A and B are shown apart, each in its own frame.
Chain A
Amino acid sequence: MKRDGDMTLSTPKIKSSGIIVEYDDKRALHGIDLDIYPNEVTALIGPSGCGKSTFLRCINRMNDVIDNCKVSGRLMIDDTDVYDPEIDVVELRARVGMVFQKPNPFPKSIYDNVAYGPRIHGLTENKDDMDRIVKKSLKRAGLWDEVSERLDDKALGLSGGQQQRLCIARAIAVNPDILLMDEPCSALDPIATSIIEELINELRERFTIVIVTHSMQQAARVSQKTGYFHLGNIIEYGETNDIFTRPKNEQTEAYISGRIG
């Protein structure tokens, strides 16, 4: 797959057209059209409550578990329709990993946290395979050196930043194509944040990454594309460079420059 910054050269990995989300009768998203390209980091920014998380959760159908949430519209990943009733949601979620705003490791050992996904999907034949996957995932998440000596310790004994990286390792252990990250650094200090940002940069080689963030700097640092959400609409979407240097929309400019619209 060739990547040279030109949108038109590659086909979109995720294609959202007219996605509408309603909580009870309240609309949270008013028809989102968005193409997300492979092996890039796409940042979603916008004021609180504008629907970024809601959109992110549409991609792996995490909204299904919310009783009062109704999704309509069309969302394609490669050639599969995500909202096709025939589709196996479990398989979809194995392809689309998710890292949540708050680190949420299982209250199990570090090893079991990472091994859980591969185990339930039957990705390994034996313990050696599993050990290899766990090691590889922890290495990719930049956590291996810190925990290699205590894989059997409880995950809840790790620091917040380590837990978040563990959650990333857990998500990539099932070898997804797409990684969704909802404000992965919101609870972290600058050092942990920079570790995770570096990580995102490396992971971009293999995954398509969509990241929600409240930090403009972070969006500018890690992403290739940026989308600006406002009150359930996508106002502007394009190359991160363009959005941050010469936004076409006033609202976008106001938000980026700190005058939240």
Chain B
Amino acid sequence: MTDQATQTAQSKHLKKRYRAEKRFKFFGLAAICSAAGILLVLLGGLTQMSIPAFTHHYVTLDIAIPETTIPADQVTDPAAMRKVNWRGMVRKTLRNEFPEVTDRRGKRAIGNLLSGGAGDALRDKVLNDPTIIGSTVAVALPLSDDVDLLLKGLIDRSLPEDNRVISDRELTFIDHLEAAGRIDRRIAWFLFTSGDSREAEMAGLRSAAVGTLLTMLVTLLFSFPLGVMAAIYLEEIAPKNRLTDLIEVNINNLAAVPSIVFGLLGLAVFINFFHLPRSAPLVGGMVLALMTLPTIIIATRAALAAVPPSIREAALGVGASPIQVIFHHVLPLAMPGILTGTIIGLAQAAGETAPLLMIGMMAFIVDTPMWIDDKATVLPAQIYMWANNPERAFQAKTAAGIICLMVFLLLMNALAIYLRKKYEKRW
């Protein structure tokens, strides 16, 4: 009787446990699915928004380049090239397509179908191949951002003319060109090959991407050796006393300091006190290095502490000095962990805007920075500036910039994994 009672109680208990386990599994799965779902929606939305930015519409015109434009041996001279009115040449050629238009407003409207960068397209073509001077060549010229949006179907033709950025007359010009098969859609390489621009259609990520690379280089060069050395000293060499305890607590707190504070510090110390150049990757990288240091120190200490003490004892036992123990055994074993921590810290820094705002790296930069003391901006700052731009074409650019930043971070992580795997193989 009692036996049976305990048995039913037991089986009830068992069932309850199974149910609890099932419930737990279900909740875990649901959590993962919803997280993945949100991520997918976000990525999907971004990708969809960014797609228009990766292509652009071009009109192909046969342009006559007279001998008098520029002597062929002077094409490499920037000053001489700048004197040529490339813009006028392309506009005139396009106007010639519409001989019936004679009024000034009509002529100007035709010229405005072209992007402000259309002249540069011709200039680059001549620069690439000076032999074309004196002949007539077909050149693909970028159209203005509004025309491009219209052709991509992002501007509604059926709107009343007053509410449309493209007038009815301009529509007839565009339709004419399209009917003549002059217009085609191409990959917008300038998104990667040119710097920022006031012209929405010509703006690219190149200067910001190079700025980010240079800034990360500085960050790495400052934070990696400093962080690893500090961590080695604290973990392996320093005596355990009040002072080192205090330092440790402060390092941990430093990791939680809002990043803009580092920017203020950089402004006050690096720029105002040491007079380092403003808006430069040098200062930006140093500020981000300060921000990354705690991450690297904490990760390195954890990696060092995770090396089994038996390895240290073994090395000491055969007569290795403490420094030899660290550099021959402990550090190589901790390296994968250190690298992971460093790259996570760098990836964090690469996505940071606030501290760079303070030192003037949120700037309109057209030219690609060549070195760490040139004026530069970084990808997230570029994205922020584009997002603030009212022109419609910048919406897609912003999304494209975000995608590029994410690809950049993804590549960094891939590098981290590759390095880690490679290091682990050696052991």
Q: Does B43 contact A (CB under 8 A)?
A: no
Task: Check if A117 sits within 8 Å of B319, measured CB to CB.
Answer: yes
Q: Which residues of B contact A98 (CB under 8 A)?
A: 313, 317
Q: Which residues of A contact B240 (CB under 8 A)?
A: 67
B interface residues (Cβ-Cβ under 8 A, vs A): 239-240, 308, 310-322, 324, 328-329, 333, 427
Most buried by A among B310, B316, B333: B316
Task: Check if A120 sits within 8 Å of B324, measured CB to CB.
Answer: yes
Q: How far is the CA of A102 from the CA of B143 in the complex (A)?
A: 75
At the interface, is chain B mostly helix, strand, loop or mixed?
Answer: helix
15 further A-B contacts with Cβ under 8 Å, apart from A100-B314, A120-B318, are A60-B317, A62-B313, A90-B319, A93-B318, A93-B319, A98-B313, A100-B313, A106-B311, A106-B314, A107-B427, A108-B427, A120-B324, A171-B317, A171-B318, A174-B318
Q: Does A97 contact B (CB under 8 A)?
A: yes
Q: How far is the CA of A170 from the CA of B310 in the complex (A)?
A: 14
Contact sample, A vs B, 20 pairs, CB 8 Å cutoff? A60-B317, A62-B317, A65-B316, A65-B322, A91-B319, A93-B317, A93-B318, A94-B318, A97-B318, A104-B313, A106-B314, A106-B329, A116-B315, A120-B319, A167-B314, A170-B314, A171-B317, A171-B318, A173-B318, A174-B319
Task: Across the A-B interface, give the 6 residue pairs with the lowest CB-CB distance, nearest first.
Answer: A94-B319, A104-B310, A117-B318, A98-B317, A93-B319, A104-B314
Most buried by A among B313, B319, B328, B427: B319
Residue of B239, B314, B320 touching A105 (CB-CB under 8 A): B314
Q: Which residues of A contact B310 (CB under 8 A)?
A: 100, 102, 104
Q: Which residues of B contact A117 (CB under 8 A)?
A: 318-319
Shortest B176–chain A CB gap in Å is 74
Q: Which residues of A contact B328 (CB under 8 A)?
A: 116, 120
B-facing residues in A85-140 (Cβ within 8 Å): 90-94, 97-100, 102, 104-108, 116-117, 120-121
Most buried by B among A93, A97, A167: A93
B-facing residues in A41-73 (Cβ within 8 Å): 60, 62, 65, 67
- Nearest residue (CB) in A for B317 is A98
Q: Which residues of B contact A99 (CB under 8 A)?
A: 317
Q: Which residues of A contact B320 (CB under 8 A)?
A: 90, 116, 120
Contact of A62 with B316 at beta-carbon distance under 8 Å, contacts A106-B329, A107-B333, A107-B427 already known: yes
- Nearest residue (CB) in A for B314 is A104
Q: Which residues of B contact A171 (CB under 8 A)?
A: 317-318
Q: How far is the CA of A67 from the CA of B236 in the complex (A)?
A: 11
